Amino acid sequence: MSTVQQPDPSDRPARLTVGVVGAGRVGPALAASLRLAGHRPVAVSGVSDASRRRAEAMLPDVPLVPPAEVLQRADLVLLTVPDDALPGLVAGLAETGAVRPGQLLVHTSGRYGAKVLDPALRAGALPLALHPAMTFTGTPVDVQRLAGCSFGVTAPEELRLAAEALVIEMGGEPEWIFEENRPLYHAALALGANHLVTLVAQAMELLRTAGVEAPDRMLGPLLGAALDNALRSGDAALTGPVARGDAGTVAAHVAELRRHAPQAVDGYLAMARATADRALAHGLLKPELAEDLLGVLAHSADGGNGTTGTDGTEGNSR
Which pLDDT tens digit goes with each residue over 247-277? 999 999 999 999 999 999 999 999 999 999 9
Query: Is the CB of residue 182 less than 8 Å from the CB of residue 113?
Result: yes
With cut-offs at 50, 70 and 90, classify the pLDDT of residue 14.
Answer: low
Mean pLDDT for the stretch of residues 59-68: 95
Calculate ∠ Cα 144-108-56, nearest 5°.
55
The confidence score (pLDDT) of residue 248 equals: 95
User: Which element (helix H / strand E) includes 175?
Assistant: strand 173-176
Beta bridge partners of residue 107, listed in sequence order: 79, 129
Query: Is the CB of residue 238 less than 8 Å from the CB of residue 290?
Result: no
CA distances from 116 to 23, 91, 211, 256, 313 (A): 20, 9, 50, 47, 57
Average pLDDT, the chain: 91
pTM of the model: 0.84
User: Which element (helix H / strand E) includes 126?
Assistant: strand 126-132
Angle between helices 287-301 and 265-281 (to 10 degrees): 160
Beta bridge partners of residue 126, listed in sequence order: 104
Amino acid at 207: L
Query: Is the CB of residue 79 less than 8 Å from the CB of residue 89?
Result: yes
In the chain, what percentage of residues exceed pLDDT 70? 91
Sheet holding 76-79, edge to edge: 40-45, 17-21, 76-79, 104-107, 126-132, 150-154, 173-176
**CA atoms of 138 and 170, how far apart (whole Å):** 16
Does the CA dihedral 37-39-43-45 come out positive or negative? negative
Q: Are strands 104-107 and 40-45 parallel, antiparallel or unpaired?
A: unpaired
pLDDT per residue as tens digits for the range 167-185: 999 999 999 999 999 999 9
The confidence score (pLDDT) of residue 301 equals: 83
- Residue 304 pLDDT greater than 80, yes or no: no
The confidence score (pLDDT) of residue 249 equals: 96
The number of angstroms, rounded, from the C-alpha of 14 to the middle of its chain's C-alpha atoms is 32
The helix/strand/coil state of 73 is helix
**CA atoms of 196 and 106, how far apart (whole Å):** 28
Nearest to 191 by CA among 297, 271, 261, 129: 271
